[in-house]
Structure 1
Amino acid sequence: MDRELVPAIANFNDLDSIGALPGCMNMDHHPANVLISNGWDRIRQENRNPGLSERRDRPSYQHALTPELRVLREGVSITRTAPRVPFATLAGPDGLAWSPIFFQRQPTDKAEGLGIAASILRSRTLHQAHTMSDIETGIMKNPVGLNAEEKSTSPSLGPKAGSIHDGASQFVSPQARKSLTRKLDLRMIPIIMLLYLFSFLDRVNIGNAKLYGLEEDLGLVGNQYQICVSILFVTYCLFEVPSNLIIKKVKPDRYIAFITTSWGIVATLTGVCQSYGGLIAIRLVMGALEAGLFPGLVVYLTMFYKRDQLAVRVGYLFIASAVAGVVGGMIAYGIGFLDGSHGMRAWRWLMIIEGLPSVVIGIATYFILPESLEKAHFLTEEERQQLTIIRHEEIGQTKEAEKFHWADVKEGVKDWQVWIFAFSGFTNDIMFYGFSTFLPTIIKSIGSWSAIESQALTIPVYALGTGVYLVVANYASKNQLRGVVSASFGMISIIGYCMLIANRGAAVSYAGTFVIAVGLYVSVGLPLAWLPGNKPRYAKRAFAVGMQYFIGNTAGIVMPFLYTTASAPRYYTGYGVSIAAVFCSVCIFSFLAWYYTRVNRRRAAGLEDWKFEGKTEQEILELGDYSPRYVYST
């Protein structure tokens, strides 16, 4: 094999000379072109005219290594490389990463294998990944041009022990990745969606029950109904953070199964409640039991999926809440015809029929959900290893980071991002819970429809919100536009509330509920995955998610008093406060999108590399989202 020796280089910028060598690469097999731009090392295949692409403002990682580079006609090998500064995986804003792994200097003049390994995280910019099977994940395992003797003397090409990959250098093909993700989804997502669907249904069906005589049967007067609605959120908020911190300690699958079965029993007992005090007690207990579900499921999903996959999976949970509106409306419509059957009012049948499925699903959860990725019995040993490799490709996803450390909780307390997300959760949930709980009442107030007809008219509203969210969430996740999209759809929901306030007739007001649903589910749903996706360390992520839902759900305590009987039928107070709250969320999401973009650019330009000083490679890996290598989702 003909070789052309290139003089030793002193910094990355000198790699430009590679592209200047005529005919130095043959693109017939698995060529790699090195592109250093904006601080991100990329590897890409080009169909012709291989070479380096020029971009301005590239950072100067001076004297990173001093290799003797040999360019082969069908591959690249680097000899005698020696580290001068610590490096591990660098990830770009588009999800593409290139991992320089430097080996110790060898005392021979032979080509000692490939000293730079490419770790390609799947990216929208890498369309040719399927043609790069020798390069794609982990290493270039068999550099063309090395004979058997050279291969046998080559050092191990896997990452150093304790790195992000912890020594794993196995190849996971794109097809295998898709197959593994699909297998996870088919096993876990349906049951998880059902869990949250019936949780949400049991929490808000008191709004449907109001139209079927709950107030009259229990003798509720004044604001007692509003108190019954809001009291659930008191214990719901109080138990969210503690529940989220202990879920991993007590085995997530069993914990989720226990709380689901328990609240299902309590929700069913609501149907036999005989007094105001009894309803208060039931709602308090149900709030405490349901508190751990949604934030717990979000943290649970982070144990199986990468952050670029997380938004869609958390989105499925949020979709379940919209589907709960559709299902709840259909069930409420049908149960309306049971009013008086066997001497029971329709609202009692509603509580019993919607509570029992939670008991069944809770028991099934114990047998379906795995405790962890390592103990997922529906996966083969090879599949578990491959999924572990895939998850550990991300910056900050070390084995140590997946353990619970109180130091990470303290970091979460000090992180201003956690608190601003939590406040946006409160402003969003003012709109979300008000709309979800009182939509049947709102629809009945804007027209001359009966209680049963009002229940039926909620179905298409929820259905539209569900469909739009499915499409938009997928688009926003793929294009890294969560902040911009959340803010934009928040403005859409404001338009819907203005249509209700304008009171231009039943048709216009009813159309306004559709507009609200379109904006609401996107602007509330996307941020739920945005925060945990930007916190790679488990304990900090668990605290952040718990706090986001704790403060967010306090809106449920306030919300019922915005839709009082005295403010019917127009509910101007509720609509006006919702508009103000959503506008606050729009401002927050716009700011966060700008901030994360700015930080990513600073890190790409090397302006935060001072954080490397005085730290070992392992310490750098454990920095989590504070690492200069970490790229925030925007």
Structure 2
Amino acid sequence: MMSETKQEADITVLSSEEELYLDPKKEARVVRKLDRNVLPILGLIYFLCALDRSNIGNSVSAGLQESIGLTNSEYSNVVSLLYVTYILSEMPGTLLLKKLKPHRYLGFCGLCWSLVTIGTTFVGNYGHLLACRMLLGLFEGSYFPCIMLYVSIFYKKEEQGLRMAILLSCAGLAGAFGGLISYALVQVQTTNPWLQGYRLIYLVEGLITICAIPLIFFWLPDDENSGKFFNDSDREVMAIRSKQRSNYMGEEGFSWVEIKKAYLDPKTYFSMIIQFCQDLILYSFSTFLPNILKSGLGYNTNEAQYMTIPVYIVSVIAVISISYLSDRTSLRGPFIAGANALGIIGYIILLASGNNKAKYFACYLIAFPLYICPGLNLSWTANNSYPHYRRATSMGSNQTLGNLSGVIAGQVYRNSPYVLGHSFGLGCLCVSIIAVALNTLWLRYLNNEKERILNGEKVDNKSERTGDHELDFRYCY
């Protein structure tokens, strides 16, 4: 009798495995189709998002500060206060994305921030500029955490790091092209004083963004099965991929219990600390790089604009190649720590050297952790948090604290040669490495504990295990 029961159980398991089997070639074809149709849209809009946010540095280098009589203190406030509204919109955005439908929510946000960018063309004083920047933060704030959450819905754990890196590299390209576009537009001479210099930067970049937004509204799918570019066979593959992850996905409906579990989890806080430190580097360096080159290293306006380009190109190459290796090895922490070590050397050179060529070389070293570490840390968070609303809470919190650093970045980078800002950046990279080490040790401990329970070496004291707490779920570190 027991033998028959065991035989039936084996048949059930086998048929379940057969039901979830996917031909690797078919799956790869569908993933490539996703990559061709989804990633370019998300990447383009994030490129424009980063361009519209970071152009404040290029516009100041191109004459904004003198034109509207902006003091150094007011400029710092303009940079910092954008992140107040930016932060306020992040958590609500990640929680509302699914309910409001991604194409509607992301499209609406993009339309609004492009209009704000166009409106910045005509600012006449500090108050006008501050209002525009805070509105920009309100509409841009939830875009990045939402697209990261969106990627985690469509792609498997081992596919996410590279895709997130590709999207982050678009921000690096925005830094490079931002300098190139600004350099070109500053050369344009018009008879209209409202369309000269830095004002053209906002007008042209805002118009480009508004022309791209219809791609979100009319082409971006809301879930794994609704893509217009999928045929029936593709939808079957996506359905099986979804079932393969269903053990950890849990209930699809909103749950306060899952939000509570996210906030009781130590790895949520390690993730938040790492993101804060990495984002401070990202926001301060990407915003102030033209000023660091101009005021800190003594280059003229044109040189400061185009000398940012190769720095960002190095950053883009680094984030794609390192994230590819991270996905292939299923490791996150060691790559974050390694990139940060290069950044630490860069900041030490900026602080200690009196040679401008050495300082410019240091900018390339800091470019390594610039986009690698925020992206890998966010994918690390997404990989280790299930089901949906637990993951959405962890990622939203990660981004909320991370972007709080944007408020601080504007305050520590006030006066050339930016000793306070560079020192703060150096300290943040050191703290991040410590947090990465602690998170890695914690995740290894959790994996070992699950292994001991499964082997009968330890009693399982938990009454309920769901999502990533399930015994067969393995955390990546």
The bucket for the TM-score relative to the shorter chain is over 0.9
Match of 2:176 in 1: 326
For residues 72 and 176 of structure 2, what CA distance do their matches in structure 1 show? Answer: 30
The within-5 A match list for 1:183-194 is 183-194=33-44
Structure 1 position 103, deviation (Å): 3.0
Q: Which has the higher contact order (CA 8 A, sep 6+)?
A: 2
Structure 1 position 450, deviation (Å): 1.6
Q: Secondary structure at the match of 2:98?
A: coil
Structure 1 position 393, deviation (Å): 1.6
Match of 1:57 in 2: none
Match of 1:627 in 2: 470
Change (3 A) 1:611 1:629: farther
Change (3 A) 1:218 1:283: same
Match of 2:422 in 1: 575
8 Å contact from structure 2 (residues 219, 228) kept in 1: no
8 Å contact from structure 2 (residues 151, 160) kept in 1: yes
For residues 503 and 347 of structure 1, what CA distance do their matches in structure 2 show? Answer: 32
Match of 1:176 in 2: 26
Change (3 A) 1:228 1:319: same
Structure 1 position 438, deviation (Å): 0.4
Gapped regions of structure 1 (runs ≥ 5): 1-7, 9-65, 68-79, 83-101, 105-113, 118-138, 140-156, 160-167
For residues 178 and 504 of structure 1, what CA distance do their matches in structure 2 show? Answer: 52
For residues 297 and 217 of structure 1, what CA distance do their matches in structure 2 show? Answer: 36
With 416-425 and 547-556 compared, the bigger mean Cα shift is at 416-425
Q: Secondary structure at the match of 2:100?
A: coil
2:250 counterpart of 1:250:
no
Counterpart among 359, 369, 388 of residue 239 in structure 2: 388
The within-5 A match list for 1:455-604 is 455-564=305-414, 567-568=415-416, 570-604=417-451
For residues 514 and 222 of structure 1, what CA distance do their matches in structure 2 show? Answer: 26
For residues 480 and 374 of structure 1, what CA distance do their matches in structure 2 show? Answer: 27
AA aligned to 2:475 is Y
The within-5 A match list for 1:342-361 is 342-343=192-193, 344-361=195-212
For residues 301 and 502 of structure 1, what CA distance do their matches in structure 2 show? Answer: 41
Structure 1 position 395, deviation (Å): 6.6
The CA RMSD measured in Å over matched residues stands at 2.1
Q: Secondary structure at the match of 2:147?
A: helix
Match of 2:58 in 1: 208
Structure 1 position 545, deviation (Å): 0.8
**Would you tell me which structure has more helix in proportion to its own residues?**
2
With 596-605 and 267-276 compared, the bigger mean Cα shift is at 596-605
AA aligned to 2:316 is T
AA aligned to 1:555 is S
For residues 544 and 339 of structure 1, what CA distance do their matches in structure 2 show? Answer: 49
Change (3 A) 1:222 1:612: closer
Number of positions where the alignment pairs a residue of Structure 1 with one of Structure 2: 475
For residues 614 and 258 of structure 1, what CA distance do their matches in structure 2 show? Answer: 43
AA aligned to 2:321 is V
Give CA-to-partner distance per residue, 1:381-420, whole Å, 9 cap, x none: 231121121233237344x433332221121122222122
8 Å contact from structure 1 (residues 401, 536) kept in 2: no
Change (3 A) 1:505 1:286: same
Give CA-to-partner distance per residue, 1:174-203, whole Å, 9 cap, x none: 101110100011000001001111111111
Structure 1 position 614, deviation (Å): 9.3
AA aligned to 1:630 is F
For residues 441 and 20 of structure 2, what CA distance do their matches in structure 1 show? Answer: 37
Change (3 A) 1:608 1:532: farther
**Would you tell me which structure has more strand in proportion to its own residues?**
1
Match of 1:142 in 2: none
8 Å contact from structure 1 (residues 396, 625) kept in 2: no
8 Å contact from structure 2 (residues 54, 175) kept in 1: no
Structure 1 position 628, deviation (Å): 1.2
For residues 373 and 225 of structure 1, what CA distance do their matches in structure 2 show? Answer: 44
For residues 222 and 593 of structure 1, what CA distance do their matches in structure 2 show? Answer: 41
AA aligned to 1:581 is C
For residues 373 and 152 of structure 2, what CA distance do their matches in structure 1 show? Answer: 21
Match of 1:115 in 2: 11
AA aligned to 1:628 is L
Q: Identity of paired residues, percent?
A: 28
8 Å contact from structure 2 (residues 103, 216) kept in 1: yes
Q: Secondary structure at the match of 2:221?
A: coil
Counterpart among 434, 453, 458 of residue 606 in structure 1: 453
Gapped regions of structure 2 (runs ≥ 5): none
8 Å contact from structure 1 (residues 395, 630) kept in 2: no
Structure 1 position 307, deviation (Å): 1.4
For residues 341 and 320 of structure 1, what CA distance do their matches in structure 2 show? Answer: 34
AA aligned to 1:289 is F
Q: Secondary structure at the match of 2:154?
A: coil
Match of 2:155 in 1: 305
Match of 1:46 in 2: none
8 Å contact from structure 2 (residues 165, 372) kept in 1: no
For residues 79 and 410 of structure 2, what CA distance do their matches in structure 1 show? Answer: 7
8 Å contact from structure 1 (residues 81, 103) kept in 2: yes
Q: Secondary structure at the match of 1:373?
A: coil
8 Å contact from structure 1 (residues 396, 630) kept in 2: no
Structure 1 position 473, deviation (Å): 0.7
Structure 1 position 346, deviation (Å): 0.9
Give CA-to-partner distance per residue, 1:368-387, whole Å, 9 cap, x none: 10111122222122311211
For residues 37 and 349 of structure 2, what CA distance do their matches in structure 1 show? Answer: 42
Structure 1 position 339, deviation (Å): 5.1
Structure 1 position 310, deviation (Å): 1.3
For residues 304 and 409 of structure 2, what CA distance do their matches in structure 1 show? Answer: 21
Match of 1:272 in 2: 122
8 Å contact from structure 2 (residues 61, 291) kept in 1: yes
2:54 counterpart of 1:158:
no
Q: TM-score, normalised by structure 1?
A: 0.72
